[in-house]
C-alpha cells in the first residue's frame, strides 16, 4: 500500500498525465476524444485551466510517481454559468481501485467549494461506465439525466450520463455576484 500525496500540478507532470490520458482515450469511453493529444497539447490545456483559476491536482506516491490527476473546468461558457464547473479525473490503470480517484475527487470538491463554485457536473462517457458512476455516487453526486447515443466510439453508440453535486450552500443562497471563481469570466464583454 502507498501513501497518496495530493499536490498542484506542475509542468514536469505532463509526460505522466499524457500517458494516463492516452490509455483512456485509446481504450476507454470516459473521453470522447479519438486521438490521444501529445504532451504539448496537454501542457497547453493544463495551463489554460490553471490560468482560468480552476484547480488542477495530481496524486503521487512517496517516490513522486504520478498515479492520477483531476481538474475542474468550465461547464458552459456564458457568464451565468460561472458558479458551475465540470470535473475530470483520470487514474493510471495500475493504480485504479485503490482509492486514488476518490481521494483526488474529495480534494477537488473541497477546493472548488472554497473557490465559491456552487455546482459540479460530471459528464460520464457511456452508460456502462460503472466505475465512474459508482465513484461519483460515493462522493454524493446524483443522476440528473442521460443524452442517449451522443458519441460513437469503439464501434458502438455511447450515451452521455450527467451527474451533479451541490457545493457549499448550493442553491440555498445567492452566489457572490462579484465573485468570478473561474477568472475566465472576468471579461465583461458580451458573450
Interaction site with ligand COA (CB under 6 A): 24, 28, 30, 88-91, 96-102, 122, 129-132, 134-135, 138
Say if residues 97 and 85 touch (Cβ distance below 8 Å).
Answer: no
Say if residues 76 and 184 touch (Cβ distance below 8 Å).
Answer: no
Which is closer to ligand COA, CB of 79 or CB of 127?
127
Which is closer to ligand COA, CB of 18 or CB of 180?
18
Q: Helix (H, G, I), strand (E, B), or coil: what is residue 119?
A: strand
Q: How far is the CB of 18 from ligand COA (least distance, A)?
A: 14
Which is closer to ligand COA, CB of 108 or CB of 115?
108
Instruction: Determine the Cα–Cα distance for residues 143 and 164; give it in Å rounded to an integer.
Output: 7
Q: Helix (H, G, I), strand (E, B), or coil: what is residue 51?
A: helix
Q: How far is the CB of 68 from ligand COA (least distance, A)?
A: 6
Q: How far is the CB of 27 from ligand COA (least distance, A)?
A: 9
Instruction: Determine the Cα–Cα distance for residues 182 and 112; give it in Å rounded to an integer.
Output: 10
Q: Helix (H, G, I), strand (E, B), or coil: what is residue 136?
A: helix
Q: How far is the CB of 99 from ligand COA (least distance, A)?
A: 4
CA distance to 110, 120, 151, 155, per residue, from 29 (Å):
27, 20, 9, 11
Q: How far is the CB of 52 from ligand COA (least distance, A)?
A: 18
Q: How far is the CB of 87 from ligand COA (least distance, A)?
A: 6
CA distance to 87, 89, 90, 114, per residue, from 21 (Å):
15, 10, 7, 27
Which is closer to ligand COA, CB of 22 or CB of 129?
129
Tell me how crowded residue 61 is: count the other CB atoms within 10 A of its CB. 15
Amino acid at each position: 500500500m502507498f501513501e497518496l500525496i495530493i499536490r498542484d500540478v506542475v509542468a514536469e507532470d505532463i509526460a505522466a498525465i499524457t500517458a494516463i490520458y492516452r490509455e483512456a482515450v485509446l481504450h476507454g469511453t470516459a473521453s470522447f476524444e479519438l486521438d490521444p493529444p501529445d504532451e504539448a497539447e496537454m501542457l497547453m490545456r493544463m495551463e489554460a485551466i490553471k490560468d482560468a483559476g480552476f484547480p488542477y491536482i495530481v496524486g503521487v506516491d512517496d517516490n513522486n510517481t504520478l498515479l492520477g490527476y483531476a481538474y475542474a473546468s468550465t461547464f458552459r461558457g456564458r457568464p451565468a454559468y460561472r458558479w458551475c464547473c465540470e470535473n475530470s479525473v483520470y487514474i493510471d490503470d495500475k493504480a485504479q481501485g485503490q482509492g486514488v480517484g476518490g481521494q483526488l475527487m474529495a480534494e477537488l470538491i473541497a477546493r472548488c467549494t472554497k473557490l465559491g463554485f456552487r455546482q459540479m457536473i460530471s459528464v460520464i462517457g457511456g452508460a456502462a461506465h460503472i466505475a465512474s458512476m459508482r465513484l461519483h455516487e460515493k462522493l454524493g453526486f446524483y443522476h440528473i439525466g442521460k443524452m442517449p447515443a451522443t458519441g460513437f466510439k469503439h464501434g458502438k453508440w455511447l450515451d452521455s450520463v450527467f451527474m451533479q453535486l451541490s457545493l457549499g450552500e448550493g442553491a440555498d443562497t445567492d452566489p457572490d455576484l462579484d465573485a468570478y471563481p473561474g477568472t475566465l469570466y472576468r471579461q465583461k464583454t458580451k458573450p
